[in-house]
Copies of this chain bind each other. A is one copy, B any other.
Amino acid sequence: MATRRQLPPRPETAARRREILAAALEIFGAKGYKNGPLAEIAEQVGMTHAGILHHFGSKDRLLVEVLRYRDESDVEGLEDQHIPDGIELFRHLIRTAFANEARPGIVQAYAVLSAESVTDGHPGRDYFEERYRVLRAEIVEAFTVVCRDRGIDDAQLVDRAAASILAVMDGLQVQWLLDPTQVELAETSAFAIEAIALQALSPRPSPFDAE
């Protein structure tokens, strides 16, 4: 049996796929993954839903590629390619919160899809599990660097602070999406990140214990 020839994709195809991924992120963000039909994505890039399946095989695989694609293009957008470390990471997170105010679509996509991913058999679940693991680890690393400078070291505290920082950013996004007039996304994120980092770096006693 002759191994059948595999032609390389045509030059425009890569760009076409990127168009589809961008449209899919928009639709999934606006309506959720399960409730965002392929036909609507297809319409936005001027083809039929069967055309999209030709490129991505199935809706599930499309979602996975959408999520990975967003990650890549986020990293591209960074001026400095390397991941910021130490105290720079915290500044980067706050800058991200400010930048996010200008792109509610992407914020909504992540908020909607991350929560949807915890539902039964959701195809995005592995992605988000891994994403949080990696992000927490990066923040833990940044804390560790800063802690070393200051001669302190409490792994448990740092783990909790890392999870809390991501949590507060995500949670504020939901509140902000529900009513942007009531929540200042960026300033509030900055406040909370500082509060949590301060408590991790030089803890004060709980104000809630019996007094």
Q: Which residues of A are at the interface with B, using a C-beta cutoff of 8 A?
A: 30-32, 34-35, 87, 90-91, 94, 108, 111-112, 114-120, 125, 128-129, 132-133, 136, 157, 160-161, 163-164, 166-172, 174-175, 177-179, 182-184, 187-188, 191-192, 194-201, 204, 206-208
Contacts and interface: CB of A to CB of B under 8 A. Distances in A.
B182 A194 contact: no
A201 B194 contact: no
Nearest to A183: B163
Nearest to A136: B182
Nearest to A108: B118
Given A129-B179, A183-B163, A31 B120 contact: yes
A196 to B, nearest CB: 5
Q: Which 7 A-B pairs have the closest CB atoms?
A: A167-B171, A115-B115, A195-B199, A171-B171, A164-B192, A170-B171, A168-B168
Copies in the complex: 2
A160 to B, nearest CB: 4
Contacts of A30: 119-120
Contact of A191 (B115, B129, B164): B164
A115 B174 contact: yes
A136 B198 CA distance: 23
A111 B120 contact: no
A197 to B, nearest CB: 6
Contacts of A206: 194
A111 to B, nearest CB: 5
Contacts of A182: 132-133, 136, 163
